[in-house]
Amino acid sequence: VRAKDRLEDIRKGSLPESAIPPEAGMCYGRALSLFRRGLYKEAIEQIRLANESLEGINWDRLAALRNDAIAALQAEEAYEEGYRAEQAGHWEKAKQAYESAIALHSAPKFHQALSEAQDIIRRLNELQSILKKPSRNIAEARMLLEAKKGLEELEELRPRNPGFIRSAFSMFCKCM
């Protein structure tokens, strides 16, 4: 009965370290190293090789690493989508993509990008409310100058998008 139970445990993925074929262990080690360096596609390939050497036996740690690598790869893709949206000036879309990236795999660069996008959205909304006020006098001119200064400050936060201030300022001037 014990041998039968042990065989069933092995089939389910509860492998003792001594039962892992050496090639599978080496591939797992390489995959883990690649994963930690952010090379998710390469890690997935090593995981595939490890699975081949296991000859149909499921290994829980390998399956968990595979799931983590796939999620991290999808998170990177979501981050890139957010970056492209950011470059196009679509801040809400960028924010949503960064949130998706964080939901899949938490990484400092995802949190930083989300924080920056949220800050820019907040500041743009504040500036938009200033520029939409109906006053047509000196106070309006001061608000416009204040808004322009705010946009210039935002431009300093976003050196990756050099056309940002021009496009944002022209968009807000149309509101006037």
Statement: the pTM of the whole predicted model exceeds 0.85: no
Residues 6+ apart with CB under 8 A from 109: 79
Amino acid at 81: E
CA distance linking residue 163 with residue 166, whole number of Å: 6
The per-residue pLDDT for range 48-64, each reduced to its tens digit, is 999 999 887 788 889 99
Which among 101, 80, 152 is positioned nearest to 123, based on CA atoms? 152
Report helix, strand or coil for 64.
helix
Q: Please give the pLDDT value at position 176.
A: 45
H-helix or E-strand containing 130?
Answer: helix 108-131
Q: Please give the pLDDT value at position 127.
A: 73
